[in-house]
């Protein structure tokens, strides 16, 4: 086992929280942070927490040498005034529902761990409390350590780990800019056009989405590169794609996921009365070795129909 990063080494020399380039307060109303040093351990105290979401942001990109497959471990303690009831402490990838690891209502100490995917290397990971119902866990939190370790022998994820490896709305390459309604996407690291299709980025609510147009053949579609995600062997992954057609389609028309090469058809789903579709498939270990990318397309009855993609998520199942 190789230790990539140990926050204790940094805290030993730090005099102020600003000396930690990888840690910052987070939340709509962020907490105050300070370093506390004792004979036993050096910690970061989160105090003046006015909401459960007041936590810290851990900038993975600021930690030199981190690679996909490394495990981040966050340990600490909660204040004695922690409430009873339904709450927890968690690591999140930035979205309200993107839980990476969580621990329900720790009485004192907590430990959270998560294996980093390739996309995690570019974004921040949040530590915060969560609540259900009226429980409001606003107590102080002491973070005793943040470490990143590398197991050279095995990158297999524990079976109970659930986390999102890729999300379209968080893809840094799928970012709408400017004042026009949409802009053309030639290609990105993960999302690529197939055939003669034209891909456009447009704004939908608070995040970006895709439009797939100029369709005349079944291969005029969009490809999702699996090679660019740092998917780890020995694990299964679930892909979910949701969207809507732009126009009328024949009754019974289906959209699907195709494993490429091989044109294996997976997750076929008929377009509903609202012109929406949802496609889902669990990638097996064998498919992970064989497929280079997954194509989102329609069957031949809807071959000329353009469509929107609102969401693409790939989640590791263990």
* pLDDT over threshold 80, residue 271: no
Whole-number percent of the chain with pLDDT over 70: 81
Question: How confident is the model at residue 156, as a pLDDT?
Answer: 43
Q: Residue 98's pLDDT is what?
A: 64
Distance (Å, whole) CA 276 – CA 215: 18
CB burial of residue 186 (10 Å; 0-12, 13-18, 19+)? exposed
Tell whether the model's pLDDT for residue 187 goes beyond 70.
no
Q: What tokens appear for 43 in the block?
A: 């910690």
Q: Say whether the peptide bond before residue 56 is cis (omega within 30 degrees of 0).
A: no
The domains located in the chain, with CATH, are 2-153 (2.60.120.260), 169-316 (2.60.120.260)
Task: Give me the sign of the Cα torsion angle 254, 255, 256, 261.
Answer: positive
- Number of helices (H), then strands (E), belonging to the chain: the values are 2, 23
Average pLDDT score over the chain: 81
What value does the mean pLDDT take over residues 36-48?
Answer: 88
Mean pLDDT value across residues 215-236: 82
Task: State pLDDT tens for residues 106-126.
Answer: 667 888 888 888 888 888 999
**Residue-level pLDDT at 103:** 77
Lowest mean pLDDT among 91-95, 111-115, 238-242: 91-95
User: How many CA atoms lie within 13 Å of 16's alpha carbon, on the beta-carbon side?
Assistant: 2
For position 122, what pLDDT does the model report? 84
- Beta-bridged to residue 87, according to DSSP, are 131
pLDDT of 45 reads 94
pTM, 2 dp: 0.51
Quote the pLDDT of residue 155. 43
Max Cα-Cα span within the chain: 72
Compare 214 and 85 and report the one with higher pLDDT.
Answer: 214
DSSP 3-state of 200: strand
- Is the pLDDT assigned to residue 128 strictly greater than 70? yes
% of residues, the chain, pLDDT over 90: 26
Given pLDDT bands bounded at 50, 70 and 90, which one contains residue 12? confident
Mean pLDDT of 50-63: 91
């Amino acid at each position: 086992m190789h230790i990539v990063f140990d926050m204790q080494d940094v805290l030993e020399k730090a005099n102020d929280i600003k000396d930690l380039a990888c840690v910052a307060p987070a939340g709509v109303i962020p907490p105050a942070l300070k370093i506390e040093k004792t004979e036993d351990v050096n910690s970061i105290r989160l105090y003046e927490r006015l909401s459960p979401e007041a936590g810290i942001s851990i900038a993975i990109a600021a930690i030199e040498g981190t690679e996909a497959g490394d495990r981040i471990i966050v340990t600490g303690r909660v204040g004695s005034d922690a409430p009873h009831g339904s709450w927890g402490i968690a690591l999140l990838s930035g979205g309200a529902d993107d839980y990476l690891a969580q621990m329900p209502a720790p009485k004192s100490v907590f430990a959270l761990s998560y294996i980093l995917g390739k996309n995690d290397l570019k974004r921040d990971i949040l530590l915060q409390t969560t609540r259900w119902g009226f429980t409001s866990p606003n107590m102080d939190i002491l973070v005793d350590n943040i470490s990143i370790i590398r197991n050279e022998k095995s990158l297999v994820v524990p079976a109970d780990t659930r986390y999102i490896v890729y999300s379209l709305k968080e893809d840094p390459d799928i970012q709408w800019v400017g004042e026009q309604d949409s802009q053309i996407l030639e290609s990105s690291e993960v999302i690529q056009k197939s055939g003669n299709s034209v891909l456009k980025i447009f704004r939908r609510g608070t995040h970006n989405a895709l439009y797939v147009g100029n369709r005349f053949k079944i291969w005029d579609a969009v490809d999702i590169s699996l090679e660019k995600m740092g998917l780890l062997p020995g694990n299964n992954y679930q892909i979910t794609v949701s969207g809507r057609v732009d126009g009328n389609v024949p009754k019974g028309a289906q959209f699907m996921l195709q494993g490429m090469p091989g044109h294996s058809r997976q997750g076929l789903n008929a377009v509903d009365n609202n012109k929406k579709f949802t496609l889902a498939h669990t990638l097996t270990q064998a498919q992970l070795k064989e497929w280079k990318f997954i194509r989102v397309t329609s069957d031949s009855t809807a071959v000329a129909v353009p469509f929107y993609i609102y969401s693409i998520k790939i989640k590791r199942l263990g």
